[in-house]
Amino acid sequence: MQRAARAAGAGAGRATSQATSQAPGGKEILNKLSHSIRCRNVDSAWKHYRQLVAGSRREKYKAGSTSTVDPAGHAFAGVVSSQQRAASARECVREAHQRILEMLNVRHLGSYTAAQLEQLAKGVELFLREAAADSHALSSKQLVGLFNFFAAARSSAAVDSIWQYATLSGVPLDIACHNAYINALAFTGQTARALDAAGTLKTRGLQPTAYTYACLIGLYGQAGDLEAAVRHFRAACLSSGVPAGVGAEARQAGAVQPQPYWHDAISDTRLCGANIHVCNAMLDVYGANGMVQEMRQLFLRLLGLDGYTGGIPTISREAARDAVRARGIQPVAQTFHTMIKWHAAYWDLAAAVEYTHLMSRCGVPPTSRTLKLLVTKDTVQRDVAACANVAVLMGAEYNVEVPSNVVRLIETAAQKRAEMDEMVRQSETQHSSILSGLSGLTGGTSGGTPGDERHAGS
């Protein structure tokens, strides 16, 4: 009986030992997590992350519940190994945090579906909770990255979770973090909250940067308060101590030309000034409010060509380069894309194409993103032939690869146009047949009405 019991106990011990040895370790799960992230498998990534978290909790509980001495007062040798396993599991979780942050990078946003983005928004709550429980404080740069990712993903719940973590975890919140939060609120449609958050900056002892002004300009533009948007744009332009409207070469020559508002581009690391982001925000607000003329004037002033009476096609490469060097702000791709977007939206495709040519002359090469702004669902429905010509032009002149969705837009619009033309042709043919039939019925009469014929017969 005793031998049988011992044998049964030994067998159970071996079974437990085998089960324990078969369970994947933290390193193995971490490798699986990394593989899932590389493959953009969101379900599998969160599954492995939860396994790591659960394993770390088990090892921490075992290490904490194990007594360090036996009843005879001798130290247990297994205590050290238990604590080592707990520390190793904790390190795996911390390493997983870094992998998760890599997954939540805005560069990878386009590779996720809408369902996967929703899963990421739910999973980030667990991630932040575990990071706070493990005293793993995220840096301001990492928080900014998270805000930017979920702002682009339009996930207001995730933005709120990140801000709650940031305010409760004791992370020093600098102006960059506040700017990212305000921008995320604006992207997720929470305009009122974004304005409230911007209003608390001075009470927190933070000095607005150029990026802050850009956010505020966009916010007031969304709210329809154009006057406030212009006021903040002017405040950004006047907040620098640099003489207004004077470029580097002109300052060296001593040419100071004060103007109502305008300053040179400065880095966003400075605390003030109107850089290209502020100008792009104001251009977009003008375009969204249908103020195309004001948008064009600001664009020319940005280039240093205010007062220029010629058209956009007449601005040469040399003229644009010299003007920017003397007294302008160097435009970027987003600057031209804003002009192209709104001219195309207002069905001025020819002007949008001219801004594309100017974009190239200013040293900013057009891309497939530029083509997507030119060829949209609205523009192809309006003039599919013109959009097809634009796609061919971009490919031939600027070596831009035409995206597959642009090709589908043009093909679908062309097919619908052909179907509509066929319907019109059939309708005209049927109409002609009806008219011919009516003409045949009345062809033998002398020109009188049917009523007249019946009256004559009677």
Position 268 pLDDT exceeds 50: no
Residues 62-101: tens digit of each pLDDT: 776 654 545 555 554 455 577 777 777 777 877 888 888 8
Q: Grade residue 208 by pLDDT with cuts at 50, 70 and 90.
A: confident
Q: Are 119 and 46 spatial neighbours (Cβ–Cβ below 8 Å)?
A: yes
Closest CA to 156 of 118, 106, 103, 108: 118
CA–CA separation, 307 vs 110, rounded Å?
Answer: 41
What is the pLDDT, as a whole number, of residue 449? Answer: 47
Q: Grade residue 10 by pLDDT with cuts at 50, 70 and 90.
A: low
Q: Are 352 and 383 spatial neighbours (Cβ–Cβ below 8 Å)?
A: no
% of the chain beyond a pLDDT of 70? 76
* pLDDT greater at residue 78 or residue 190: 190
Q: Grade residue 458 by pLDDT with cuts at 50, 70 and 90.
A: very low
Segment among 29-33, 38-42, 254-258, 300-304 with least mean pLDDT: 254-258
What is the pLDDT, as a whole number, of residue 170? Answer: 77
Average pLDDT over residues 121-140: 82
What is the pLDDT, as a whole number, of residue 130? Answer: 83
Amino acid at 42: V
Q: Grade residue 271 by pLDDT with cuts at 50, 70 and 90.
A: very low
CA–CA separation, 326 vs 316, rounded Å?
Answer: 15
Query: How far, rounded to the nearest angstrom, does the alpha carbon of residue 348 sit from its chain's CA centroid?
Result: 26
Amino acid at 100: I
Question: What residues have CB less than 8 Å from 338, skipping those under 6 apart?
Answer: 280, 283, 284, 287
End-to-end CA distance of the chain: 129
Position 437 pLDDT exceeds 80: no
Torsion of CA 363, 368, 373, 375, to 10 degrees: 130
Q: Grade residue 422 by pLDDT with cuts at 50, 70 and 90.
A: confident
Q: Which of 409-448 are b and which e, b meaning 16 or more Cβ less than 10 Å from the residue's Cβ?
A: bbeebeeeeeeeeeeeeeeeeeeeeeeeeeeeeeeeeeee
Q: Grade residue 327 by pLDDT with cuts at 50, 70 and 90.
A: low
What is the pLDDT, as a whole number, of residue 392? Answer: 92
Q: What are phi and psi of 75, to 5 degrees?
A: -75, 140
Q: How many CB atoms lie within 10 A of CB 32?
A: 18
Segment among 35-49, 301-315, 396-410, 422-436 with least mean pLDDT: 422-436
Tokens of 417: 């146009």
* pLDDT greater at residue 410 or residue 441: 410
Q: Which of 48-83 are b and which e, b meaning 16 or more Cβ less than 10 Å from the residue's Cβ?
A: bbebbbebbbebbeebeeeeeeeeeeeeeeeeeebb
What is the pLDDT, as a whole number, of residue 64? Answer: 67
What is the pLDDT, as a whole number, of residue 3? Answer: 56
Segment among 121-130, 236-245, 381-390 with least mean pLDDT: 236-245
Residues 16-68: tens digit of each pLDDT: 444 444 456 678 888 888 888 888 888 888 888 888 888 777 777 777 665 45
What is the pLDDT, as a whole number, of residue 104? Answer: 87
Position 266 pLDDT exceeds 50: no
* pLDDT greater at residue 20 or residue 425: 425
What is the pLDDT, as a whole number, of residue 224? Answer: 84
Position 353 pLDDT exceeds 90: yes
Q: Grade residue 225 by pLDDT with cuts at 50, 70 and 90.
A: confident
Instruction: Please state, rounded to an integer, the average pLDDT across all residues of the chain.
Output: 77
Average pLDDT over residues 432-451: 59
CA–CA separation, 16 vs 14, rounded Å?
Answer: 5
Q: Grade residue 341 by pLDDT with cuts at 50, 70 and 90.
A: very high
Average pLDDT over residues 431-435: 68
What is the pLDDT, as a whole number, of residue 456? Answer: 45
Beta strands in 159-231 (DSSP E): none
